[in-house]
């Protein structure tokens, strides 16, 4: 599952991310409520590990805003041990489970797995960014009503970008995902293929260069 970790203690967040990665999940960590809300606006997450005690917007406020937006992400709250009121409040606000601190990392991973089994993920059949669509079954790509012909490598590159709209990929990341073996790729190839995709996708542009970092795809709206 794609998991967002919202924990203000960076060392704790790193340990959780490491344990979830080892368990086969795809975690991302942020350290305050504002950053968490920004992330969920850009990227769908299957599950959010949410600490209640956060600077600025606390975990309860984050949870309230998530549920008001009708986001379906499951939420595992991290609460203070013995804080019964926090647990009750969290569940009433829409949390799916809670885990008191301090906790054993094995238990956190087990709770994440259990929440994943409780809500089986519906298969994604297509990707969309603005008026650009990619059918994962047929590999057909359309910009509005117009069909776009792509080479297999262009298609693979576009698929990587469209799976995480708004995320900035470095050239090296794109190389590793599209040209899987180091001896097969050169980061300059990414620039060539990005250029081809931009030309085929047309205007208004959806693929953007982030200077000194890499590339991202986002809606033109």
Integer Cα distance of 155 and 174 in angstroms: 13
Integer Cα distance of 84 and 120 in angstroms: 29
Specify the pTM.
Answer: 0.55
For 4-57, the pLDDT digits (tens) are 999 999 999 999 999 999 998 889 999 999 999 988 888 788 899 999 989 889
| Assigned CATH topology for domain 126-217 | Arc Repressor Mutant, subunit A (1.10.10)
For 63-83, the pLDDT digits (tens) are 999 888 777 788 999 987 667
The domain ranges of the chain are 2-118, 126-217
> What is the domain class of 2-118 according to CATH?
alpha beta
Q: How far is CA 180 from CA 11, 94, 184, in A?
A: 31, 41, 7
Cβ-contact 108, 129 below 8 angstroms: no
Residues facing residue 74 across a β-bridge: 47
Q: Length of the chain, please?
A: 221
């Amino acid at each position: 599952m794609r998991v967002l970790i919202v924990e203000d203690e960076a060392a704790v967040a790193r340990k959780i991310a490491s344990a979830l990665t080892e368990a086969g999940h795809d975690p991302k960590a942020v350290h305050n409520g504002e950053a968490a809300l920004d992330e969920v606006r850009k990227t769908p997450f299957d599950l959010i590990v949410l600490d209640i005690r956060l600077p600025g917007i606390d975990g309860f406020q984050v949870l309230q805003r998530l549920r008001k937006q009708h986001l379906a992400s499951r939420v595992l709250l991290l609460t203070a041990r013995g804080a019964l009121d926090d647990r009750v409040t969290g569940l009433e606000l829409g949390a799916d489970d809670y885990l008191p601190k301090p906790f054993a990392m094995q238990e956190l991973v087990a709770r994440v797995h259990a929440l994943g089994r409780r809500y089986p993920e519906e298969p994604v059949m297509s990707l969309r960014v603005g008026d650009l669509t990619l059918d994962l079954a047929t590999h057909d790509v359309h910009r509005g009503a117009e069909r776009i012909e792509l080479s297999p490598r262009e298609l693979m590159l576009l698929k990587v970008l469209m799976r995480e709209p708004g995320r900035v990929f470095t050239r090296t990341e794109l190389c590793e995902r599209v040209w899987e073996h180091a001896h097969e790729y050169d980061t300059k190839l990414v620039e060539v293929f990005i250029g081809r995709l931009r030309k085929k996708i047309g205007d208004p542009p959806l693929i953007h260069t982030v200077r000194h970092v890499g590339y991202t795809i986002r809606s033109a709206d």
